[in-house]
Chain A
Amino acid sequence: MDLSLIIMQLLSGIALGAVLVITALGLTIVFGMLGVVNFAHGALFMIGAYAGLYLASLTGSFWWGLLLAPILIGAFGMLIEFVLIRRLYGRSIDDPLLLTFGLSYILVEGVRIVFGSDGIPFPTPPQLVGVLDLGIGFFPRYRLFVIALVAVVLLVLWLTLEKTRIGLIVRAGARDPTIMQVLGVDIGRVWLAIFGLGVGLAALGGVLAGPMRSVNPEMGSLVLAEAFVVTVIGGLGSIVGAVVAGLMVGISISLVALFAPEMATIVMFALMAVVLLIRPQGLFGVRGRTA
C-alpha cells in the first residue's frame, strides 16, 4: 500500500470530518450554553439544505444560498427558541429533548408535503466542479473548499468567543447565568442568540453537504446520529472537543475504509464506546456537568 494512497485517504477523512465538525458544533454549543439537547438538529440540517437549494435557484447563485440559508434558518431557530423552548428552561432536561424530537417529525413531514419525498438534485457550484491534481492524486475541488470554509468558520467563532465582549458574556452566561442577570445582562437574549447560532450552523452544514449528497427529507436523521457521536466523544458542550472528535471520527472512518470497508460505519460507534469506557465525560468534557 503506497504512501500517496494513505495521504489521499487522510484528506478524504479530513473533508468528511469537516462536515461532522460543523454539524456537531451547533449541537454542542446549544447543549453547553443552554442545556438543551436539540433532537431537531438533524431536521434543521436538512431544512438548511433545502433552503440553500431554494435560495440558490431563486438568486441563480450557490453563494447566495450558502450565505442566506444559515441566516434565515438561524432566524427560524430563534423563533423556535422564543416561542417553544424558552418555556421549558428550568425544567427537566427531558422536556426540551421531547419537544425538539417532536419538532423534527413536524419539520421532516412538512418538507415531504412541500417538496415531495423524492430526492432533488443540488448541483455543485460551477467554480468548484471537478478535481484538483495534487501531484499524488486527484481530489474534488468542492471538498477542499469545504475544508477551508469550515476552518474559517471555526476561526471566526473562536475569535468571537475569546476576544470580544459578546464572547465574554456568552462564556460567563454558560458558567453562571444567575450572576449574569444580577450584573444586569439580559441572559434571555444571549440564549436566544446562541440557539439561533446553533441552528444556523446546522443549516450551514446542510447547505455544504447538499452538493455532496442527494438532498431528501430523511438526510438529517443519519447526520443527527453522527453529530451526537462526535459530541459525546468530544465531551458534551465542548467546542474544542467537537472539532477534535469530528476530525478524529472522519479520519478513523477513512482509514478503516481502506482496510476493512464494511466496518467503516461501525468504527465511529466503537470509538465512542472506547472513549466512554476510559473517559465517560468525553475527551474535553467536564465531569458531572449537567449545565
Chain B
Amino acid sequence: MPKSGSTSKITRRTALAGLSAGAALLAMPRLGRAADETIRIGFPTPLTGPFAAEARDQVKCAELAVKLVNDKGGIGGRKVELLVRDDKLNAGEAATRTLELIEKDKVHAVVGALSSAVQLAVNEVTRARGVIYVSISQSDTINEAKDFSKYTFHEALNPHMTTAAVARQTLKKGMKVAHLVADYAYGHEMLRGFKRAQAAIGADNVGEILHPFGAADYSTFMPRLMSMRPDVLCISNFGRDQANAIKQAVDFGVKQQMKIVVPVILHNQRLAVGPDVFEGVVGGANYYWGLESQSKSAAAFNAAFKAANGGAIPTDYGAYGYSGVGSLLAAMQAAGGTDTDKVVDALEKLQYDLTKGPQHYRKCDHQSVQSVLVLESKKKSAMANDNDLFAILANDAGSDDMLRTCSELGHAT
C-alpha cells in the first residue's frame, strides 16, 4: 500500500546542505540568453507505486510530443525540454516536486499527475504561483469552481463522461446494478457518475460495497455481491486494484451470473492478467490504438509512437501524456512564446486534434471536450495478435452535452 513515507526530518546537516545549495544558486551568474531560450515543461507522475505502468507510458508519450516539436525547430526557435519527476503517488511528494520545478527549475508550465489526490496537490501549488497546469488525471473536482483557476486545464476525461458513455452501452431500464468501489476520491466520483447515469436510464441500484484502496484480496466481498443478484457489476477502482478485483470476481464465477463493467478499462491491467480474465469486460477509454481504422489522427500518433519506441503501441494513459503536452505546446506555438496570459488565452481558443479527433478546452472550467470510447475486452480466440485487446463498442463524439453544465460546477455563466 503506498503510504506517505516522506516524514522528512530536517537535520542540521541537510539544513546546511540546503542553505549552501541555495546560496550557490543565488550567487550563480545568469547564464544569459542560452538558458532563457529553452522552454521547460515540468512533468510530475507516479513512476513508482501501483500506477507505475501507466505513468511510464505517460512519460514516453510526453517525450514524443516534445521531440516532434523540437524536430520541427521548436517554438519560435526555442527548444523544449521535459523535466520528469516522480511524485510517488503521494500528494506531499508531488507538491514538493512541483514547487521545486517552479522555483528551482523555473519551468514555464506543468503537465501531469495521475491520481486524483495528487493532481489537487499539484494544482494547489501551480494555482498559487500563477503557473499553467494541464492535468491528465481522471477527476472531476479540479474543474469545480472551488479548485479552479484560470491557469488550470484538464485534458483527461472525467468520471461523468466515462460512466455516462459506459452506462449507455451496458445498462437498460429495469436492470439491477451492484457496485464494488475503491474507497477514495476516484472511486467515489465514478460511483456518483454511474448512479446518475443509472437514474437517467432507469436501472435499479441493488447495493454498493466500498473496498480499501490498494487491497490485494477481494474474495471476502464476492459472496455478498453475488447474493445481491445484480445483472451488472460495476467495479470502480484503478491500476492493480482493477486487475485483482476482476481476476478474483472471475474466480468466484461472477461472470456466469452478471456482466462486469468498469468506468475505465486499463490497457496495462488487461495485459497484466490476460485475456481469459478480462473477456467480455466493458469499460470506457480515452484512447485505444485500434482506433486507427477510424481515425487518421490515431494512425499518425501510432506511427510516430512506434517509430520512437521500437514498434511498440501507445496505451490509453500514454495518449494523455501526448495530448496533454501536445495541446500545451500547440498553444505556446499560437501564443508565440511562454507568456502565461497569452498561452492561457491560446489554450482557451485552441482547436486541436492530436490522437483521436477534434478536442477543445471548454471556456468556463477548462475541461477538454473530447470523444469517449467504450471498449469490450476480446476473448483470446478472437484476438488477431497480441496487441488486439479490445473491440470498440462505441466512439461517442465530443460535445458540451457530455459534461456537467458550467453552473452545476459552480462557475458563473
Contact = CB atoms under 8 A, between A and B. Distances in A.
Given A119-B273, A131-B253, A216-B240, A137 B268 contact: no
B209 A212 contact: no
Interface residues on B, range: 35 or more
A12 interface: yes
Interface string A204-233: 000000001110101101110100000000
Contacts of B50: 218
Interface string B222-241: 11101100000000000010
A258 B222 CA distance: 10
Contacts of A253: 217, 220
A16 interface: yes
B183 A262 contact: yes
B239 to A, nearest CB: 9
Contacts of B226: 137-138
Contacts, number: 115
Q: Is the interface of B mostly helix, strand, loop or mixed?
A: helix
B272 A119 contact: yes
Interface residues on A, range: 35 or more
Interface string A247-291: 000000110011001101110000000000000000000000000
A16 B272 contact: no
Contacts of B224: 5, 9, 257-258, 261
A119 B240 contact: yes
Contacts of A137: 223, 226
A261 B274 contact: no
B211 A212 contact: no
B253 A140 contact: yes
A5 B228 CA distance: 11
A130 B210 contact: no
Contacts of A2: 227
A142 to B, nearest CB: 7
- Ranked 8 nearest A-B pairs via Cβ: A119-B272, A121-B274, A257-B220, A131-B253, A8-B223, A265-B212, A262-B210, A140-B251
18 contacts: A12-B219, A15-B219, A117-B53, A118-B52, A118-B271, A119-B243, A121-B271, A121-B274, A142-B251, A212-B217, A213-B247, A214-B240, A214-B243, A253-B217, A258-B224, A261-B210, A264-B215, A264-B220
